[in-house]
């Protein structure tokens, strides 16, 4: 299993229409790549909890669903900042 390929595929699917930007950021920025990997891992954990019938599963599902939304928002913000271009990075966001 190629984790990078799986991660990139999930991010492309989750943020359709920005595939080229995603591939560029993923290939060039380790911080963005880590954020995307966190998103994939969170998504995988959420799917596992959805399959469990254990007592704590619903609360854990909600925790991971909330975290996935937060991570997705971070990715969305990152992509929007990249679309703005170099002028955004002059505002102190060198990771973008």
Q: Which tokens go with 7?
A: 């991660």
23-44 per-position pLDDT tens digit: 999 999 999 999 999 999 999 9
Could you tell me if residue 95 is inside a domain?
no
Could you tell me if residue 89 is inside a domain?
no
Strand (E) or helix (H) holding 62: helix 57-84
Could you tell me if residue 30 is inside a domain?
yes
Q: What are the backbone angles phi and psi of residue 54, rounded to the nearest 5°?
A: -65, 160
For residue 54, what is the DSSP state?
Answer: S
The count of residues in the chain is 96
Range of the domain at 22: 3-84
Could you tell me if residue 44 is inside a domain?
yes
Q: Identify the residue with better confidence: 87 or 84.
A: 84
Q: Tell me which residue has tokens 């399959």.
A: 51
39-78 per-position pLDDT tens digit: 999 999 999 988 887 777 888 899 999 999 999 999 999 9
Q: How many domains does the chain have?
A: 1
Q: Which of these, 73, 77, 4, lies nearest to 40 by C-alpha position?
A: 4
């Amino acid at each position: 299993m190629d984790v990078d390929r799986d991660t990139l595929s999930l991010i492309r699917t989750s943020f359709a229409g920005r595939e080229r930007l995603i591939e560029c950021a993923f290939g060039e920025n380790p911080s963005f790549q880590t954020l995307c990997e966190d998103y994939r891992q969170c998504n995988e954990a959420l799917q596992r909890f959805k399959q469990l019938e254990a007592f704590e599963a619903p609360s854990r599902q909600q925790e991971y669903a909330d975290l996935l939304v937060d991570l997705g928002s971070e990715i969305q913000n990152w992509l929007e900042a990249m679309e703005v271009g170099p002028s955004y990075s002059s505002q102190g966001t060198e990771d973008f």
